[in-house]
């Protein structure tokens, strides 16, 4: 059985692929694959292994040997699921591979914003400490997390892991009702929590119900010292509205690990604002990239392949 990995670069070059090699006769590995290279590289393969490479209906119809698509991620939006189903091609993804990594990253962002780290690092670069009349800088009050209210949108494995870490810091944690399903959810709606929360952390999928969830109206309802963290998907918040609120002192801190378009080849307002004296952090969608998490992607994919083959 032949398998082809089309975008191994998305896993990094320090990951052991032997769990996959052990399950196939031939594993062909490509660091990156351009759209025009997909058909040739997948010709004769029974298994396609992809992270972000698009497998559309036209490609699926051109690959008569293809029987399984393994997505090395949770999202399957790059796969034409209907075309795969029509052809009888199984599609398997992986979940919960980066829970510890993303939860840790979320807490890092929360702690950095609470300490006003971006501001104080900027002040140090500008020589403010050297010019200070007292022994420290305290022009930006920090936020002590103990006894503060952390609201989380997304109560899955990741949101629950963040909740446990927040509780370890003495925070009071509330899960908001699932956006779009508030009527059938016993938890409080996010709108009722905005005015009282101190930290809002997003861990929900990007859907029609969550797109633009944190918009101008939501931001206006929050405390001016509240912190907003998005380690979910770009577009769940209105990034431009959040930046405006931050600049106007209507938001205490903003941290995002994703943007609507990635990589942001045309730039983005948040990236351009990083040089400003704001409590702003942008990380390059790397909350998930610990070696342990990336290796677990391979392990879980091997499990999917083994189950599909009905191996013991």
Residue 206 shares a structural domain with residue 253: yes
Residues ≥6 apart with Cβ < 8 Å to 160: none
Exposed, middle or buried, 250 (CB in 10 Å: 0-12/13-18/19+)? Answer: middle
Output the CA–CA distances (angstroms, integers) from residue 91 to 34, 156, 194, 267, in the order listed. 21, 22, 39, 33
Handedness of CA 203, 205, 211, 213 (dihedral sign): negative
| Cβ within 8 Å of residue 196, ≥6 positions away | 149, 223
Shared domain for 139 and 126, answered yes or no, is: yes
Q: What is the pLDDT of residue 312?
A: 44
Neighbours of 44 (CB within 10 A): 13
Domain count for the chain: 2
Residues 220 and 175 in one domain: yes
- Report the pLDDT value the prediction gives residue 293, as an integer from 0 to 100: 97
Is residue 292 part of the annotated active site? The answer reads no
285 is catalytic: yes
- Specify whether the CB–CB gap between 203 and 158 falls below 8 A: yes
Residue the block writes with tokens 């501001």: 119
Helix (H) or strand (E) holding 256: strand 253-256
Pair 154, 276 in one domain: yes
Kindly give the pairing relationship between strand 227-230 and strand 253-256. Answer: parallel
Active site residue 28: no
160 and 273 co-located in one domain: yes
Nearest to 241 by CA among 267, 275, 270: 270
Residues 163, 62: Cα–Cα separation, whole Å = 46
CATH number for the domain spanning 180: value is: 3.40.50.720
Phi-psi region of 268 (alpha: psi -120 to 50; beta: other; left: phi over 0): beta
The residue annotated as part of the active site, out of 30, 149, 172, 285, is 285
Q: Are 130 and 68 in the same domain?
A: no
Task: Please tell me which residue in 58, 262, 272, 276 is annotated as part of the active site.
Answer: 262
**Full-prediction pTM beyond 0.75?**
yes
Residues 264 and 232 in one domain: yes
Query: Can you give the residue range of the structural domain that contains 76?
Result: 2-95+291-309
Asked whether 176 and 190 are in contact (CB, 8 A), the reply is: yes
Whether 167 and 220 map to the same domain: the answer is yes
Q: pLDDT tens for residues 76-92?
A: 989 999 999 999 999 99
**124-153 confidence digits (pLDDT tens):** 999 999 999 999 999 999 999 999 999 999
- In this structure, the answer to whether residues 143 and 208 fall within a common structural domain is yes
| Same domain flag for 165 and 278 | yes
User: Rounded to the nearest 5 degrees, what angle is found at the Cα of 238, between the Cα atoms of 232 and 243?
Assistant: 105
How far CA 23 is from CA of 6, 65, 132, 214, 239, in Å, comes to: 17, 17, 64, 45, 44
83 and 136 co-located in one domain: no
CB 299 within 8 A of CB 19: yes
Catalytic residue chosen out of the listed positions 38, 116, 178, 233: 233
How far apart are the two ends of the chain, measured CA to CA in Å?
17
- Looking at the fold, whether 121 and 270 belong to one and the same domain comes out as yes
**Nearest-angstrom CA–CA distance, 95 and 72:** 9
Low-confidence ranges of the chain (pLDDT < 70): 311-312
Q: Which residues contact 218 (CB under 8 A, 6 or more apart)?
A: 190, 191, 194
């Amino acid at each position: 059985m032949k398998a082809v990995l089309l975008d191994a670069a998305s896993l990094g070059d320090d990951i052991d692929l032997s769990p996959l090699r052990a399950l196939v006769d031939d594993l062909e590995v490509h660091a990156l694959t351009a759209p025009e290279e997909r058909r040739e590289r997948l010709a004769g393969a029974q298994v396609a292994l992809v992270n972000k490479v698009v497998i559309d209906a036209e490609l699926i119809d051109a690959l008569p040997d293809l029987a399984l698509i393994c997505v090395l991620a949770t999202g399957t939006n790059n796969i034409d699921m209907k075309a795969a189903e029509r052809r009888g091609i199984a599609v398997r993804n992986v979940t919960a591979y980066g829970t510890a990594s993303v939860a840790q990253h979320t807490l890092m962002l929360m702690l950095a914003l609470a300490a006003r780290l971006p501001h104080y690092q900027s002040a140090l670069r500008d020589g403010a400490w050297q010019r200070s009349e007292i022994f420290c800088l305290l022009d930006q009050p920090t936020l002590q997390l103990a006894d503060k209210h952390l609201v989380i949108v997304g109560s899955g494995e990741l949101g629950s892991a963040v909740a446990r870490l927040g509780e370890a810091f003495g925070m009071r944690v509330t899960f908001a009702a699932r956006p779009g399903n508030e009527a059938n959810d016993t938890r409080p709606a996010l709108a009722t929590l905005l005015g009282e929360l101190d930290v809002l952390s997003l861990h929900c999928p990007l859907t029609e119900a969550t797109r633009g969830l944190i918009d101008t109206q939501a931001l206006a309802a929050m405390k001016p010292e509240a912190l907003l963290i998005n380690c979910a998907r770009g577009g769940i918040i209105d990034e431009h509205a959040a930046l405006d609120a931050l600049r106007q002192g209507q938001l205490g801190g903003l941290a995002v690990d994703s943007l609507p378009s990635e990589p942001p080849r045309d730039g983005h307002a948040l990236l351009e604002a990083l040089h400003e004296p704001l409590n702003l952090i942008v990380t390059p969608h790397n909350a998930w990239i610990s070696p342990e998490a990336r290796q677990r992607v391979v392990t879980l994919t091997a499990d999917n392949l083994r189950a599909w083959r009905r191996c013991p």
